[in-house]
Structure 1
Amino acid sequence: MKYRHLAGIFALTLVGCASQPTSTPFEPSQHWVTQTLDNGLTYHLYPDSNESVSIRLYVHAGSFQETLRQAGYAHYVEHMAFNGSIHYEHNDVIDMVAKSGGQFGADLNAYTNYSQTVYQLDLPDNQHMDDALLWMRDIADGLTFDPQEVEKEKGIILGEFRFRRSEPDTLYEHFADGSDYLTYDPLGNRSNVQMATADGLREFYQTWYQPQLTEVIITGNITLEQGEKWVRQYFSDWKQGTTPRPTRPALSQQNTSDLIYTASAGDAPRLSLFYPQGEIRIADQETLLEYRFDEIATRLMEHRLQNAFYNAALPTQDLAAFNYNTDDQRYTELTIAFPVEQRAASQSLFLNTLASLRDHGATQQELDMVLQSYRDDLENFDWYRSQLTPNTLADDRVYAISYDEVLPSDLEYKKGLKALLSASTLKRINQHLNAFLTVNPMIELVGAESEDLNTLEKSTDSLRQILQQPGLMETVSQVDTPFLSPAAPGDIVHTQTFSNYPDLTQWTLSNGVEVYYLRSSHAGDDVYLRYASLGGASALPRDLYPAGQLAVNVASRSGLGNLSNVQLNNYLKENNIYLGPYINETSHGVEMSANKKQLGNVFALLNQLTREIHVDDNQLASVKSETIQAIEQDKASPAGQLLYAINHGSYTEGSKHWLFSEADYQQVTPEQIYQVHHELFQKQRNNTLVIVANTSPVELQTLLRQYVGSLQFDAGSTPDFSVGYRDPIQARLELPINNHANTQYFVRMIAPVRTADAKTVFMDDLLMRIVNKRLTAVVRENQSLDYSPFAMAVNSDSEHGVDWILSASVEPADAQKVENAFDEVIQSLAQSISADETAIVAKQLITDLNNMQKNASGMAWYINRYVINDFGLDAALDMEATTRSITASDLTQRAQQIFGASATKQKVLMTPQPDAI
């Protein structure tokens, strides 16, 4: 369930339906307490039993409150909140949050929009509330605007332009054409940023940062008395100002004429239809009901379109139906992307399918499968409600403030779901679909380089004519027995429990499959499965590598058991089952989840997928076409060209990481897909099934014997986990191919060291946090070269070596500076890691691991990972002890392995094309 309160899922009015004769406002949630101080500051408190605490400072000032001379100032002031105040010098607030177990970016952040600036702080507990609220009060009236800090921040904000405005948002700019939303971009403009002064920013700050324009939100591990005491202690003496609170802007007049343009390099040709849905804000039960009708219609359209393209085996790069939001209005977008040579066929099928749904409606089976998620929401409401975290609650309040919405009570929410399920008859939903699809939509046509835009523009009339033609009735046959019966059942030959982890049980089946069952209340009424083993591409012969990359999509679209592809899609949705098979470089398997009432069907699916797949020739041809198109798009884009240059300059052709050519994929045969399935899913390589649920072990044991223990496997050889690097790897690559006026800089560190156990995995996580912190400190905060430098590991588990990438995007003139800065960071890492750094990141990791234990799906992945890679499950489960066992000396030694003299360093620069500067 995507439980996002009124703030997230209640958001528009119905197109094409009569206005409601009554209006039933929402009863507000009693969990929230809202009060106003004498100085006009409003505060919202939500005490609950979570250990963590979230704080938000909401200022009713954004880019709409700027003069044209101040364009970008609201956002600039937001940045300065992290760069010096009465009680926190420079970046001291970042250090304060880090020591509490939080992280800059994930737990400490801020954003500026058109009408608001919001500061966000999430803490793992309430031990640092005074420090946190002291900073929030500093934001209120204690920012210092040191001229040197203001000047330094310019480089970071210009870096944010590179980060957020690297590609034009053609669609949004089209909708906003002629409106204030285009004039008052929250980032402002480069020239204003470069000319900004401390005095100018302070003037804006003092005008708009006033208590009557501010709201404070605190959720989580507090009492009501504590919350009120804290708010009064830190904010009651803030002097009230005279600036009136801005009124909510009127709905913007948006440009909904057709849009035709050429795709950016790397993007596919596309047809999209946009149906206007009115204002985002929802204020009453009637509007909510109409919104949900529209949501149901959108899901039905997406489902019918998916089935149509599955059945026709037409290649697609994207096929979806979803909400597209501008700042104050919502649209439903129906979109299809395709190979250019398939434009006519794809557009015709797309439009004819919608016409059929408009004229003949959905079937009861289709409606039932869509309504199932709402039934689950109602049935499991209390459990979903109990899983809400303080940061989610705080963000929902922020949304409600932004759109002047009421957060409804639990009773109101349930009442709305009951009303929906009662009203959603097939007749009413089909009337809604008819009204929805009778509206004339805005058309977006995105052309390939080879297509003439004038021709595309002239085609819009014919597209509308196709859509207006009477639709044909569509039928799908039903299957009584979806899957083959399993073979003779196996048995459970060994049971093991874990004294330090009493909720975990291990069963060994007679066919060698190891099963781990974690009984967790955090699973609610759902069940999460992760079946996997070592292998992936590493277990395949080289001639099957391309087939291995196609196999999942081909098999998924070819049906399963007695089900065709369309019937399989229907079956999964009817039973609300998620099925996600995968093949990675070093592992393969399937991820599944469903309501535990579907346990039998989930196990039957797993049994069928492992025993036998289908390969349809037409689906194979379609997946080949999609893959080849994606390669061609990549090669047409600077990012893709860079990727291929790095890849082919780093790996041998025999490496599983080698990027193959179009011809390699074109030659894949059905027999090779079957061979991939046999090699990976029908051989025994420490095959492991992890189940996380809150159900009886006895029921699981019966299903395990019948559906998993009955599986038969051939013996699998030990995979070769060598990477296949070239020797030597080119030390420096410079490619003048960037079509933007910036330089992308990368440093790659490759070291022939193994990740042998859980402690080493934890060490790499800690080290990654330290690397990113040092990069941010040197590249962003000290030298103002980039907004968001980052580091990440790109090697796979069990590979013979580690492979890290550090990256930044800078002005071309700063290329040498960023290279020097990266060298400085890497040299410092190879020298030492301090005890203070180790303690800080260890606390962050423990916080994250504690949070992960509340995530049932995450725990299924976690246990499976440590078991199949033989990292050591006991150490992985004893999370805090393993983390605390890591010393600064351990991290220094690991850092020297990865960043020291024995590692291979590769520097890569993607510089601008001559005409891009």
Structure 2
Amino acid sequence: MKYRHLAGIFALTLVGCASQPTSTPFEPSQHWVTQTLDNGLTYHLYPDSNESVSIRLYVHAGSFQETLRQAGYAHYVEHMAFNGSIHYEHNDVIDMVAKSGGQFGADLNAYTNYSQTVYQLDLPDNQHMDDALLWMRDIADGLTFDPQEVEKEKGVILGEFRFRRSEPDTLYEHFADGSDYLTYDPLGNRSNVQMATADGLREFYQTWYQPQLTEVIITGNITLEQGEKWVRQYFSDWKQGTTPRPARPALSQQNTSDLIYTASAGDAPRLSLFYPQGEIRIADQETLLEYRFDEIATRLMEHRLQNAFYNAALPTQDLAAFNYNTDDQRYTELTIAFPVEQRAASQSLFLNTLASLRDHGATQQELDMVLQSYRDDLENFDWYRSQLTPNTLADDRVYAISYDEVLPSDLEYKKGLKALLSAATLQRINQHLNAFLTVNPMIELVGAENEDLNTLEKSTDSLRQILQQPGLMETVSQVDTPFLSPAAPGDIVHTQTFSNYPDLTQWTLSNGVEVYYLRSSHAGDDVYLRYASLGGASALPRDLYPAGQLAVNVASRSGLGNLSNVQLNNYLKENNIYLGPYINETSHGVEMSANKKQLGNVFALLNQLTREIHVDDNQLASVKSETIQAIEQDKASPAGQLLYAINHGSYTEGSKHWLFSEADYQQVTPEQIYQVHHELFQKQRNNTLVIVANTSPTELQTLLRQYVGSLQFDAGSTPDFSVGYRDPIQARLELPINNHANTQYFVRMIAPVRTADAKTVFMDDLLMRIVNKRLTAVVRENQSLDYSPFAMAVNSDSEHGVDWILSASVEPADAQKVENAFDEVIQSLAQSISADETAIVAKQLITDLNNMQKNASGMAWYINRYVINDFGLDAALDMEATTRSITASDLTQRAQQIFGASATKQKVLMTPQPDAI
């Protein structure tokens, strides 16, 4: 153990010596104003031009401030802030948040950690600042701790245990073994929660909720004068206490011995390596540079590992390299999950690839592709800065307080990027890689159920020996012409503008493709494309359904044009292009994004992907293996067994929703993958391309003629969007398969109604918010049965029907109670929706839609969705008018369609296995 730590410190210091001769603290950002009131309360203000406002109340008290007798009290007090105070009785604060246009829900408005409790409100404007700050002031010293409310909240908190602690976090618990982090779990323990009293909670509250232990953060649509006035008005009379601010916890001693255990049901066998990278806190430019060197090394390792497994066509369930943070320390995790029969081959390739990178380093091409994102960050820094929202800024300040960091000035941030780009030479990065991978890592081995853990434990020495062997040099050949030249160019035959939306232009191409170009400053120097059409699985004959589910992965791993799979991966990263083809139940297409300097390459990629794909037999076999393993894992887990039971009990075998067997996927042929591509990407079904960028329309028109107008399509038939439900659907399913001591309860509502236009889409969004609000009110707040009941729609756009699921996780003894509670909610929805409810959720939707208009990628998706489904683009673009046109009567009628007597109701209970109780 000592050797491992010393080796890690020594190896990383070899690289760090030259870069860390001194400590250069950050110059703090001048955008922030920080002051302290006479009573010791610190406040941070960040005025900007955004319309929205974000508020945070940060209390320096968490589970580390509890005695063992008080375990869980900091978190319990956080809950009580929503259950009665001087100015807000019971759950009035929830109504206040909703009426202001804000969101309420689990984790949205407060959280408790080891050293802090944070309350947060994100408001669409500054019109409700007084209401919000009045609640924050109540949190300070005005919580009432009504004994009845305290008692009632126990059920909610116990529900949070089910929500957060249903599965053991084996890895985290291993790292934290023997430390205070494991002893002082912020949730506490169930027995303490059950025995908690109003007096006990009040004692903790009065000890730790004091102004000198508290910080207030306000960002967004305020002036500096307004912010200071509000803080003084609401907090200056809060009496200073005597409790000293807790010292920042010392770095914990972490357990980094090897970890070997059996996978949970539904998880795959795995090998992971953990390399220690030191403290999370970044205090100065030198630490930041070292952090970024680690980040570059991590990206290079992930890229090299991806290429190695692509080239070998070995099946994987997961392959990644990323930061794994414990509460105060940072590790780099390199991980591979695989079919159990491929353990030896996968582990050997994984370790040999890392050894090669350690001994021979990265290539200049690989380093350039990783550094490109940092160059883009520097080049576009001012634009990125302008896009920061008040809630992001507020959360950045919370993070800085938590880790005692300085938020650097814009000049400092640019300075750090310039220093990185200057220092990150190939020689220096390869030295860093060598030092990084010379460290003896912690090994995590996750075994399959049929693997012997003793054998796995003994294998760690041989794994280290493989890693320590000299690595072989790897080379990748280059391709001068990556893609085939497009056919003869097409033309633009029609142009349309929109008087109410002057930044949007529509072009119709000679081959029938409709193009929508939204010129948006929110895109910055990037371009976002969404090319799609109706169809997806609905456009395929039944015998091609399994092939349709494999096609994207197989084609993506088989190369494109003149590029092999490895060369394609390199090409995308070199040019910083995101390529995301997809096939779902009712549509298919490709999502792309890049810097607008790459526009020509993006259009060439789109042209090639549409015209021709490759299908490599080895890659097809690999994807089949992965899919079959995923099915086997699902069937081994209670959640998977539940899913299959619901699916096969709800749909006919001809339905596109039917979950297929391992044998169905094993029989997929290369010819079927080609057929899927031809049926979906080479036929015309209102094919639509949406582009969101801030560039010249003339440049786009040239590329459109060359790369999109030149595409040739066969005529496509109208897809069948019927769902294929069984008749009848079993009204009730009870499955005693849960391996946890709780009952999962679901109600499914299926109604044969269409979603015909934009107004109906908006109505369903509003109604979903109302359903979730009522579920929270009845199931959580009134009856304390669950922490996070929820509702969601599972039907796809254009399907002939809606399909909604309502769910909760409860104690087995409360199964009948939750069933009655859900019946109550569903019954109330079928009766009426009030005007007040309608107005509240309409304001929330308008806020969300206004925010989405600032998201270029989101707008590409939004326009594409409403066009290809023929929901009506004009109504979709006139977001506020369409939302305000919806009345309570409209929503009542829609709710009656979905929750009324004509809908099909299915109740599903997953109850504990006998040995799980």
Which TM-score band applies after superposition, normalised by the shorter structure? over 0.9
Measured against aligned partners, the alpha-carbon deviations of 1:567-611 in whole angstroms (never above 9, x if no partner) come to 000000000000000000000000000000000000000000000
Measured against aligned partners, the alpha-carbon deviations of 1:242-278 in whole angstroms (never above 9, x if no partner) come to 0000000110000000000000000000000000011
**1: CA distance, partners of 2:434 / 2:698:** 49
**2: CA distance, partners of 1:7 / 1:525:** 44
Measured against aligned partners, the alpha-carbon deviations of 1:736-757 in whole angstroms (never above 9, x if no partner) come to 0000000000000000000000
Deviation at 1:21, TM superposition (A): 1.7
**1: CA distance, partners of 2:452 / 2:280:** 36
CA contact (8 A) 2:603 2:703 kept: yes
SS of the aligned residue for 1:10 comes to helix
| Residue in 2 that maps onto 1:691 | 691
| Residue in 2 that maps onto 1:73 | 73
Measured against aligned partners, the alpha-carbon deviations of 1:289-325 in whole angstroms (never above 9, x if no partner) come to 0110010000000000000000000000000000000
CA contact (8 A) 1:552 1:581 kept: yes
Deviation at 1:203, TM superposition (A): 0.0
Measured against aligned partners, the alpha-carbon deviations of 1:87-122 in whole angstroms (never above 9, x if no partner) come to 001111111111111110389510000000000100
Q: 1:13 to 1:650 in 2, by over 3 A?
A: farther
CA contact (8 A) 1:484 1:608 kept: yes
Measured against aligned partners, the alpha-carbon deviations of 1:785-809 in whole angstroms (never above 9, x if no partner) come to 0000000000000000000000000
**2: CA distance, partners of 1:746 / 1:634:** 19
CA contact (8 A) 1:370 1:573 kept: yes
**1: CA distance, partners of 2:11 / 2:204:** 32
Aligned ranges 1:602-751 → 2 under 5 Å? 602-751=602-751
Measured against aligned partners, the alpha-carbon deviations of 1:510-568 in whole angstroms (never above 9, x if no partner) come to 00000000000000000000000000000000000000000000000000000000000
Q: 1:22 to 1:913 in 2, by over 3 A?
A: same
CA contact (8 A) 1:283 1:405 kept: yes
CA contact (8 A) 1:527 1:691 kept: yes
**1: CA distance, partners of 2:233 / 2:751:** 53
Q: TM-score, normalised by structure 2?
A: 0.98
CA contact (8 A) 1:270 1:335 kept: yes
Deviation at 1:12, TM superposition (A): 12
Q: 1:851 to 1:14 in 2, by over 3 A?
A: farther
CA contact (8 A) 2:50 2:389 kept: yes
CA contact (8 A) 1:16 1:435 kept: no
**1: CA distance, partners of 2:374 / 2:514:** 35
Q: TM-score, normalised by structure 1?
A: 0.98
**2: CA distance, partners of 1:890 / 1:474:** 64
Deviation at 1:9, TM superposition (A): 22
Q: 1:805 to 1:649 in 2, by over 3 A?
A: same
CA contact (8 A) 1:16 1:436 kept: no
| Residue in 2 that maps onto 1:201 | 201
CA contact (8 A) 2:610 2:682 kept: yes
SS of the aligned residue for 2:413 comes to helix
Deviation at 1:7, TM superposition (A): 29
Q: 1:263 to 1:106 in 2, by over 3 A?
A: closer
Higher deviation after alignment, 488-497 or 88-97: 88-97
Q: 1:915 to 1:246 in 2, by over 3 A?
A: same
**2: CA distance, partners of 1:815 / 1:653:** 32
Measured against aligned partners, the alpha-carbon deviations of 1:136-158 in whole angstroms (never above 9, x if no partner) come to 00000000000000000000000
Q: 1:14 to 1:413 in 2, by over 3 A?
A: farther
**2: CA distance, partners of 1:320 / 1:416:** 27
Unmatched runs of 5 consecutive residues or more in structure 2: none
CA contact (8 A) 2:72 2:186 kept: yes
Measured against aligned partners, the alpha-carbon deviations of 1:451-473 in whole angstroms (never above 9, x if no partner) come to 00000000000000000000000
| Residue in 2 that maps onto 1:388 | 388
| Residue in 2 that maps onto 1:99 | 99
Deviation at 1:817, TM superposition (A): 0.1
Q: 1:7 to 1:510 in 2, by over 3 A?
A: farther
CA contact (8 A) 1:8 1:399 kept: no
CA contact (8 A) 1:313 1:619 kept: yes
Q: 1:355 to 1:182 in 2, by over 3 A?
A: same
SS of the aligned residue for 2:55 comes to strand
Q: 1:617 to 1:429 in 2, by over 3 A?
A: same
Deviation at 1:4, TM superposition (A): 32
SS of the aligned residue for 2:450 comes to coil
SS of the aligned residue for 1:24 comes to coil
Deviation at 1:418, TM superposition (A): 0.2
Q: 1:510 to 1:526 in 2, by over 3 A?
A: same
Deviation at 1:331, TM superposition (A): 0.3
CA contact (8 A) 1:13 1:279 kept: no
Measured against aligned partners, the alpha-carbon deviations of 1:799-852 in whole angstroms (never above 9, x if no partner) come to 000000000000000000000000000000000000110011011000000000
SS of the aligned residue for 1:77 comes to helix
**2: CA distance, partners of 1:275 / 1:645:** 42
Unmatched runs of 5 consecutive residues or more in structure 1: none
Higher deviation after alignment, 5-14 or 497-506: 5-14
Measured against aligned partners, the alpha-carbon deviations of 1:697-745 in whole angstroms (never above 9, x if no partner) come to 0000000000000000000000000000000000000000000000000
Q: 1:106 to 1:174 in 2, by over 3 A?
A: closer
Aligned Cα RMSD in Å? 3.3
CA contact (8 A) 2:12 2:436 kept: no
**2: CA distance, partners of 1:541 / 1:853:** 38
Deviation at 1:2, TM superposition (A): 36
Q: 1:589 to 1:332 in 2, by over 3 A?
A: same
SS of the aligned residue for 1:728 comes to coil
Measured against aligned partners, the alpha-carbon deviations of 1:367-401 in whole angstroms (never above 9, x if no partner) come to 00000000000000000000000000000000000
CA contact (8 A) 2:14 2:435 kept: no
**2: CA distance, partners of 1:729 / 1:704:** 48
CA contact (8 A) 1:791 1:804 kept: yes
CA contact (8 A) 1:751 1:898 kept: yes
CA contact (8 A) 2:106 2:787 kept: no
CA contact (8 A) 1:721 1:798 kept: yes
Deviation at 1:912, TM superposition (A): 0.1
CA contact (8 A) 2:210 2:241 kept: yes
Deviation at 1:15, TM superposition (A): 8.0
Deviation at 1:863, TM superposition (A): 0.2
SS of the aligned residue for 2:242 comes to coil
Count how many residue pairs are aligned between Structure 1 and Structure 2.
Answer: 917
Q: 1:15 to 1:449 in 2, by over 3 A?
A: farther
CA contact (8 A) 1:14 1:290 kept: no
